[in-house]
Structure 1
Amino acid sequence: MRNRVIFILAVIGLVAGLVSAYLFGIEKKPQPPAFTPASNPYGAGIYANGIIESYQTNGENITIYPEVAGTVAKIMVAEGQGVTRGMPLLMIDDTVQRATTAQQEAQASAARALLEELRAQPRKETLQVAQAQVEYAAAGLKNAQDQFDKQRSAYRLDPGSVSRDALDNAENAVVVARTNLGVVRRQYDLTKAGAWVYDIRNQERQYEASTKAYLASRALLDKYVVKAPANGVILSINAAAGGYVSPQGAYDSYTQALGPVIVMGGAQGYLGVRCYIDEILVHRLPQPGRIAAKMFIRGTDVNIPLEYVRIQPYISPKIQLSNQRTERVDVRVLPVLFRFAKPKDTALYPGQLVDVYIGGK
């Protein structure tokens, strides 16, 4: 009985082994690829990693940093929106600066009013008062002179009628009145001449300094509204209302670093492609007039011919690594820039990585 059981189990194991061998030996039909891998369209083409950028005649994307620090009060644009040169993009809280500007404007106005007052001298009413003082002093002199003449005549007729002391006092009163008249006349001439030229010049400098301080404060106030430096498209906004920004940029809580508050791209109908050619392949680049290139969109079968723009003639350290063991960290690359017309049926965005093959015409 035991031998029979062992024999049956052995047969079952043999059958299971044959069935398994048959099943595992069946070849499965491979799945078709999701897209056709990029192939080199040139006989001796050079492969390069590329990154799509907004097309600029010179330079890269426009990074915008505010010139003043403060809390963001309002953001007046949205990502993807087209803007024109001088259009307000972002407003920073300007409460303190606006009050300072108003104060300096008032100081400049006060300095100007004082300058106009000095230039308008003599005032008509002040001159009339000075003229009245002259007339009053002249009348006082005449009165003193008349009193002295009377006492002197009486003294000559009868020396006993007037004491010598009274006669001397009358004569001294004439001298005092004459001197007072001279002082009042000089004061009248001084009033009539108006403000001293040096006082006017000093006030002119005060007004000029106050005006320049106000204009500087006003110019600084205008900096609290960040405006578009050129026509373009808003690519990214890295700030929010209530957040703090400074001339160093805005703090990114994800990267824990400072970056541009707003990034703008060109508004033309083109996109740019920046390719990085490994330093060991630079000698294989064709002459600029013969350079041809084709871009392959990763994950699709789309390929787009590129138009050569320029070479950035400075070999710099590579910033994008492929994570291959054979790739050195200290690799230097030469940036080559291309452009292409925006396709209507394919969505492409600045910052997207693409595969580029570069060959000769």
Structure 2
Amino acid sequence: MSRRYLLPILAAVGLAIGVVAVIRENRTSQPARPAVQPAAGPFTSFVAGAGIIEPSSGNVAVGTPVPGIVKRVFVKWGDWVRAGEPLLQIDDRDLRARLPSALARKKEAAARFEQARVQLRIADSVPDRRAISLEELETRRAAVAIASAALEGAQAEIEQLKAETSRRTIRAPEQGRILRVEVRPGEFAPSGAPSTPLLELGDDRQFHVRVDVDEHDAWRVRAGAAAVASVPGNPNLRTSLHFMRIEPSLVRKTSLTGSSTERVDTRVLQVIYRFDPERLPEVYIGQQMDVWIQVAPESAGSRAPRVGKP
């Protein structure tokens, strides 16, 4: 008797489970609330873009003209340096070892020059010109010229060693704050343009924001347009921006926001704005900002200048 009702009972249970599953699947789910409310555009008509904070002087990557072992680093992160102040020193013991012998050669050349000049003075002081031949006189004059050239060569060698030694001390090309120190004493510093700069400095008394505007919206941006920037994750941290310039050419997009709908195979127009760091002390160089640039209502007949002047 139990076997007769077993299959219908199992079928009914399966049907009930399927109905419940379908009901749950079709139930309207409440959308998840974002952890942080997105910032709203402050203008009626605007173009939005991602901006990167940079010092007003730009990020100055400091390198070395000669490769070698770093002997000393004179600065640390956060130091303010003036133009010409030493930043780091490359090992110069090889040059200093050559300097004593160069000084000795100069002293020897100076002695030979003085000797040749005395010999020429003696020959010129002879009252009777028949006592010394004209050929002998010209030989002594040539000896003075040769000794003088040797002395100048020895002095030039010393000056070259001093110049090479001076090049081993890398100095600040302009004033600014040390932003990065990527080298330590004892490490090898390559010359040229390494992928990671040895040091990086910039003038942080004013911040610039480099805004990437999609090439499809570039025609809408005008020189002098008002703009507002806010901190991603906290739309209450915002400040107005002052227009500086529009870069004259479009470049490949390199600053990515991480959005799933972001286009990476595009070119962007870079617009430079500035603001006072004291108005927004919570931000840092290299930080990304949400930027809105005020534009006129979209119109097919309106055109924008390509280059703006501050």
Contact 1:295 1:306 in 2 (8 A): yes
Alignment of 1:165-244 (within 5 A): 186=131, 196-244=140-188
Residue aligning to 2:54:
53
Contact 1:49 1:275 in 2 (8 A): yes
Residue aligning to 1:308:
243
Task: Select the structure of larger CA radius of gyration.
Answer: 1
Alignment of 1:56-205 (within 5 A): 56=57, 60-121=58-119, 186=131, 196-205=140-149
Q: CA RMSD in A?
A: 3.9
CA distance in 1, matches of 2:133, 2:263: 96
Contact 1:231 1:267 in 2 (8 A): no
Task: State the Cα distance separating 1:337 from its structure 2 match.
Answer: 0.8
Contact 1:104 1:213 in 2 (8 A): yes
**Residue type at the aligned position of 2:39:** A
The 3-state SS of whatever aligns with 1:79 is coil
2:295 maps to 1:351 = no
The 3-state SS of whatever aligns with 1:260 is coil
Alignment of 1:244-263 (within 5 A): 244-248=188-192, 258-263=195-200
- Identity %, equivalent residues: 27
Residue aligning to 1:295:
229
The 3-state SS of whatever aligns with 1:259 is coil
CA distance in 2, matches of 1:111, 1:225: 30
Residue aligning to 1:273:
209
Alignment of 1:311-322 (within 5 A): 311-322=246-257
Give per-residue Cα distances to partners, 1:112-146, cap 9 Å, x unaligned. Answer: 232123223379xx99xxx9xxxxxxxxxxxxxxx
Task: State the Cα distance separating 1:336 from its structure 2 match.
Answer: 1.1
CA distance in 1, matches of 2:262, 2:80: 44
Give the TM-score normalised by structure 2.
0.76
CA distance in 2, matches of 1:38, 1:28: 25
Task: State the Cα distance separating 1:33 from its structure 2 match.
Answer: 5.8
Distance 1:82 1:189, change over 3 A: same
**Residue type at the aligned position of 2:196:** G
The 3-state SS of whatever aligns with 2:98 is helix
CA distance in 2, matches of 1:284, 1:71: 52
**Residue type at the aligned position of 1:111:** A
Question: Which segments of 5 or more consecutive residues in structure 2 lack a partner in the other structure?
Answer: 3-27, 297-310
The 3-state SS of whatever aligns with 1:43 is coil
Task: State the Cα distance separating 1:324 from its structure 2 match.
Answer: 3.6
CA distance in 2, matches of 1:101, 1:299: 60
Aligned residues: 283
Task: State the Cα distance separating 1:319 from its structure 2 match.
Answer: 1.4
2:229 maps to 1:285 = no
Distance 1:87 1:281, change over 3 A: same
Task: State the Cα distance separating 1:101 from its structure 2 match.
Answer: 3.1
The 3-state SS of whatever aligns with 1:283 is helix
Give per-residue Cα distances to partners, 1:155-186, cap 9 Å, x unaligned. Answer: xxxxxxxxxxxxxxxxxxxxxxxxxxxxxx94
Contact 2:239 2:279 in 1 (8 A): no
